[in-house]
């Protein structure tokens, strides 16, 4: 369950939640460097109400605290409400979105299953069986079900434990990490047990591609985990965007990275990411800009250059269009919070 990973140039201290590795998968920047798990409270307004599409080998858990976001998983679009949640299996394309611009608060947690599988080979085999391409992509967590409530509250508990570990990192005893590891093991057990049942517990919304930016559940579900040439091309183009977002990028550049033409490039992004390549590029640049703004060490001009915007004026215009605030206003708000 382990594989060699080559980190890109993103700093491990970065607040950006994802880093891309040589196999084109991604990994979160974990709460504690070297401990492959992550849990934090967050809100959709920090992402402009739409996260960039991504995938990773980690198992992911989300507990919605307020609002009603939707979760895109391998072509299925699943509506969630306050008190509900979702478990997303390993290596599935996914993102959260709030279409109406209303905020949503949530707790998210991701756990690298190799942390547990490395301890015992039969355990690794049992976990991999429930994480492979034939297993369900996700399970919706219903707060009216007792076992699902245990999972939902467990997500919150892991966030509490990791937050405490972070606060005690410099002065505390590292032994306090053990409760977080134990909690992550319990979450993985409960979630993979649900996967083994083969139950989804909620129907994804079927969306007409002719009238919506989102693909229908059947359009991507069958192939999103297949390492075929189309999906590989999409991953190459997504990785190219993330590696070169600070530079001027055209649609031709993106298509060339995937060794496809412009038409196929757009089709692949619509199928797997639910948006155009240029929209994906803009979302990623804005995400990087929010990260740098929250760190508070660079000027607006420096951030606009680092994120590939042609000028600070254009950067401010695009940022305000998506975030309903200027970069300076957004940074001031984040610093205050």
> What pLDDT, on a 0 to 100 scale, did the predictor assign at position 172?
75
Confidence (pLDDT) at 229: 84
Band (pLDDT 50/70/90 cuts) for residue 227 is low
pLDDT at position 173, please?
Answer: 82
Q: In this predicted structure, what is the pLDDT of residue 204?
A: 53
Angle between helices 277-295 and 327-336 (to 10 degrees): 50
What's the average model confidence in pLDDT over 22-46? 81
Confidence grade of residue 24 (pLDDT, cut at 50, 70, 90)? low
| Dist CA 77 CA 185 (whole Å) | 28
Please name the residues in contact with 209: beta carbons below 8 A apart, sequence gap of 6 or more.
215, 216, 219, 270
Which of 35-44, 164-173, 185-194, 245-254 bottoms out in mean pLDDT, i.e. has the lowest?
164-173
Q: From 42, 74, 65, select the one nearest 274 (Cα to Cα).
A: 74
**pLDDT of the residue at 48:** 83
Cα separation, 132 vs 21, whole angstroms:
20
Taking only the tens place, the pLDDT of each residue in 194-221 is: 998 865 555 555 443 333 343 333 344 4
Question: Directed axis angle between helix 277-295 and helix 229-244, to 10°?
Answer: 40
- Look at 205 and 274; give whichever has higher pLDDT: 274
Full set of structural domains in the chain with CATH: 18-197 (2.60.120.10), 227-336 (1.10.10.60)
Determine what percent of the chain falls in helix, strand and coil, rounding each to the nearest 5: 45, 15, 40
Helix (H, G, I), strand (E, B) or coil at 267: helix
Q: What is the pLDDT of residues 53-77, one digit of tens each?
A: 888 889 999 999 999 999 999 878 8
Q: What phi and psi values does residue 73 have, to the nearest 5 degrees?
A: -135, 110
For residue 188, give the 3-state DSSP assignment.
helix
Indicate the pLDDT class of residue 320, thresholds 50, 70 and 90: very high
Q: How much of the chain exceeds pLDDT 70, in percent?
A: 83
pTM as predicted: 0.77
User: Please, what is the average pLDDT of the chain?
Assistant: 83
Whole-angstrom distance, CA of residue 192 vs CA of residue 129: 10
* Mean pLDDT on 79-101: 91
With 90 as the cut, is the pLDDT of residue 287 above it?
no
Stronger pLDDT, 30 or 260, i.e. the higher one: 260
CA–CA distance, 192 with 135 (Å, rounded to integer)? 10
Higher local confidence (pLDDT), 296 or 170 = 296
* Mean pLDDT, residues 144-156 taken together: 95
Average pLDDT over residues 280-307: 91
Cα separation, 13 vs 10, in Å, equals: 8
């Amino acid at each position: 369950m382990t594989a060699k990973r080559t980190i890109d140039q993103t700093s491990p201290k970065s607040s950006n939640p994802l880093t891309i590795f040589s196999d084109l998968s991604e990994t979160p920047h974990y709460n504690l460097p070297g401990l492959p798990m992550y849990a934090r409270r967050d809100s959709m307004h920090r992402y402009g109400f739409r996260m960039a599409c991504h995938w990773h080998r980690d198992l992911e858990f989300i507990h919605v605290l307020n609002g009603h976001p939707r979760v895109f998983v391998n072509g299925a679009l699943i509506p969630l409400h306050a008190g509900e949640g979702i478990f997303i299996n390993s290596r599935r394309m996914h993102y959260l979105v709030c279409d109406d611009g209303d905020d949503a608060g949530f707790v998210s947690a991701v756990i690298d299953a190799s942390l547990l599988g490395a301890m015992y080979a039969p355990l690794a085999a049992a976990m991999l069986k429930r994480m492979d391409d034939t297993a369900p992509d996700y399970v919706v967590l219903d707060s009216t079900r007792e076992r699902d409530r245990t999972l939902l509250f467990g997500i919150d508990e892991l966030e509490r434990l990791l937050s405490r570990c972070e606060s005690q990192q410099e002065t505390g005893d590292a032994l306090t990490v053990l409760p977080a590891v134990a909690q992550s093991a319990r979450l993985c057990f409960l979630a993979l047990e649900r996967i083994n049942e083969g139950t989804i517990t909620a129907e994804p919304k079927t969306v007409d591609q002719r009238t919506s930016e989102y693909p229908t559940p059947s359009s991507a579900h069958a192939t999103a985990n297949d390492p075929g040439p189309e999906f590989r091309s999409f991953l190459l183009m997504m990785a190219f965007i993330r590696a070169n977002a600070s530079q001027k990028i055209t649609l031709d550049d993106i298509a060339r990275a995937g060794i496809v033409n412009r038409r196929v490039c757009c089709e692949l992004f619509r199928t797997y990411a639910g948006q155009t390549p240029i929209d994906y590029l803009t979302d990623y640049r804005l995400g990087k800009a929010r990260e740098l703004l929250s760190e508070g060490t660079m000027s607006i001009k420096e951030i606009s250059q680092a994120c590939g915007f042609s000028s600070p004026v254009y950067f401010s215009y695009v940022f305000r269009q998506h975030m309903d605030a200027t970069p300076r206003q957004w940074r001031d708000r984040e610093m205050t919070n």
